[in-house]
Structure 1
């Protein structure tokens, strides 16, 4: 992906990797088991073929996808997530929760598979293990 934002900000730099139109949907489709170009095209209605090709190429270059040749003639590839892109689950879940709360029509919600209860996002301090509210969080700048 071309660098859109030249801002020293995690949000801006993350959007440089996954903020293009269709990118998160492509990654999510691969996570859902659609691993070939044909499967992705069939399961992402409306995506232009040239855009899908370009996004897949860029995602491989950015180490968000692994690309494996499974047919020589014609060349066909199978795509899989890297550890970096597998770590996007929390982003998908946050978007599902946000959409369920704020879209005029919600298509999905996140529920606990054992008791069918609604899910909320919880912040836990990695150092002390304490569960935190949003008011207890600060964004801290790393020293260069």
Structure 2
């Protein structure tokens, strides 16, 4: 995949990895248990086999998934998410909640297993051990010289 954005921005650089058409949907399918090429292809109506194959190879190169051969003849892989890939689950949850609020037709919601009521995302400061409101957030540049 080509690097679309040359901006010094976490959002832009993340989109360089997962922003191509179908990429997030492929990761989501693996997250929810569709782990073979055929399962993913069947779930994502309209994706071509070539494009799915290219995206899976790219996601493996980027370290978001791993492929494990489960059949030699013909060669078939099972795909699993790496820790980096699994960390996108919060992104999917945020998109579901955004869709619940803003889409004309909502398809999913996130509920608490115990009481079946809707949940919301919140921010938490591990240092202060407190919930943090959006108003109390600040996006700051990372000092590149002090990164390890």
TM-score, with length taken from structure 2: 0.94
Q: CA deviation at 1:101?
A: 0.5
Partner of 1:92: 92
Partner of 1:80: 80
Partner of 1:108: 108
- The alignment yields a C-alpha RMSD, in angstroms, of 0.9
Q: Which aligned segments of 4 or more residues in structure 1 are displaced greater than 6 angstroms?
A: none
In structure 1, list runs of 5 or more residues that go unmatched.
none
Q: CA deviation at 1:103?
A: 0.3
Q: CA deviation at 1:107?
A: 0.5
**Structure 2: how far apart are the matches of 1:97 and 1:62?**
27
Aligned residues: 144
In structure 2, list runs of 5 or more residues that go unmatched.
none
**Structure 2: how far apart are the matches of 1:2 and 1:60?**
16
TM-score, with length taken from structure 1: 0.97
Partner of 2:15: 15
Partner of 2:118: 118
**Structure 2: how far apart are the matches of 1:2 and 1:129?**
41
Secondary structure in structure 2 of the residue aligned to 1:17: helix
Partner of 1:140: 140
Partner of 1:46: 46
